[in-house]
Amino acid sequence: MYKIVRKSEIAPKIKLFEVAAPDIAAKANPGQFVIVKTCENGERVPITLVNADTKKGTITFVFNEVGKTTRQLGLLNEGDSILNVCGPLGNPSEIEKFGTVLCVGGGVMIAPMLFQVSAMRKAGNKVITVIGARIKDLLFFENEMKALSDEFYMATDDGSKGYKGLDFLKEILTKQKVDRVVAMGPVVMLKAVSEMTKPLGIKTIVTLTPIMVDGMGMCGACRVTVAGKTKFGCVDGPEFDGHQVDFEELVQRQRMFLPEERLAALFHERIGGINVVKCES
């Protein structure tokens, strides 16, 4: 059982949990994720780490309530315990002194980008951070990112805060020498960033979030194609060379269970209503 020591809603339907997990905190690095299970027969949900505090023995993660399981998770409160947290899983991000690193975090994945930004800065890089969301209300960690970055920009799809869209990145990428780009966020964003950097020859690392089950390389659910070869998102990634990823296949595979996911969310809402049965764990 993993006790939630801090809970906050940092944007609508986006929740932050700090959880007592000393064993995981001791080994966790930026780029890694945990798999969370809220009840015995529940779905296993992968969530990327935002921080690991070895002194406090806690890990922090942020999740978006998009479906049945993440909504169930969001019903837990400070002092409650999560049945199971497995990790750290996946490979740590490659952190070293590259020179100038552009970090792009989109949607809920702004959160784990904070861990990367902090580590890239500690490694001696000049860090340019960009956070983006659909609308201004979904932007978060503005002050935290600003404090850790040499340059900081915001963008929204509708232009309600910061730049409208990500086209302005072209200017950043051409006006100064950027040695590496790291991106975490929706597939459409990862693809757009990778397409921008490819002609410029800037190494671009993207975090992929294919559907996962075991997270340990056994089931094959997280299969992705990179440089024409089959890779497993959980054990070979989750970070890959953005110029080599088959994004179309990734999108198709992510949508594989959409009807079932919609049905599960609907059933869950109708049966439990908004007062969805709190996961008794």
Taking the least distance from each CB to ligand FES, the nearer of 26 and 218 is: 218
Identify the residue among 26, 200, 218, 277 touching ligand FES (CB under 6 A): 218
CA torsion 23-147-93-244 (nearest 10°) is: 150
Q: Is the bond leading into 112 cis (omega within 30 degrees of zero)? A: no
Give the Cα separation of 139 and 137 in Å (integer).
6
Query: Which range binds ligand FAD by CB under 6 A, 23-31, 38-46, 131-139, 191-199?
Result: 38-46
d(CA 62, CA 215): 18
38 binds ligand FAD (CB under 6 A): no
Q: Output 126 or 253, the one with its CB closest to ligand FAD.
A: 253
Q: Tell which one of 43, 80, 144, 179 touches ligand FAD (CB under 6 A).
A: 43
Q: Residues 56 to 75: which contact ligand FAD by CB under 6 A?
A: 61-64, 66-70
127 binds ligand FES (CB under 6 A): no
Reading the block at residue 104, the tokens are 């792009």
CB nearer to ligand FES: pick between 12 and 217: 217
Contact pick of 151, 214, 246, 261 for ligand FES (by CB under 6 A): 214
- Give which of ligand FAD, ligand FES, none residue 217 binds (C-beta under 5 to 8 Å, depending on kind): ligand FES
The rounded distance, in Å, linking the Cα atoms of 185 and 86 is: 22
Distance CA 185, CA 133 (A): 9
Does 213 bind ligand FES (CB under 6 A)? Our answer is yes
Closer Cβ to ligand FES, 119 or 212, answer by number: 212
CB of 236 to ligand FES, least distance (A): 9
Give the CB-nearest residue to ligand FAD: 67
Tell me which of 33, 115, 232, 247 binds ligand FES, using CB under 6 A. Answer: 232
Return the sign of the alpha-carbon dihedral for residues 73, 248, 131, 158.
negative
Residue 71 and residue 276 in contact, taking contact as beta carbons nearer than 8 Å: yes
Cβ proximity to ligand FAD: between 172 and 185 the closer is 185
CA 256 to each of CA 103, 210, 253: distance values in angstroms, whole numbers, following the listed order? 29, 10, 5
Q: Which of 20, 110, 189, 234 binds ligand FES (CB under 6 A)?
A: 234
Our finding on whether 33 is near ligand FES (CB under 6 A) is no
HEC per residue, 140-204: CCHHHHHHHCCEEEEEECCCCCCEECCCCHHHHHHHCCCCEEEEECCHHHHHHHHHHHCCCCCCE
Q: Cβ(52)–Cβ(28) under 8 Å?
A: yes
Q: How far is the CB of 18 from ligand FAD (least distance, A)?
A: 14
211 is an interface residue for ligand FAD by CB under 6 A: yes
In 3D space, the residue among 185, 16, 177 whose CA is nearest the CA of residue 101 turns out to be 177
Which partner, ligand FES, ligand FAD, none, binds residue 232 by CB below 5 to 8 Å per kind? ligand FES
Give the count of beta carbons closer than 10 Å to the beta carbon of residue 104.
Answer: 29
Task: Using CB under 6 A, list all residues that contact ligand FAD.
Answer: 33, 43, 45-48, 61-64, 66-70, 108, 112, 209-212, 238, 254, 261, 264-265
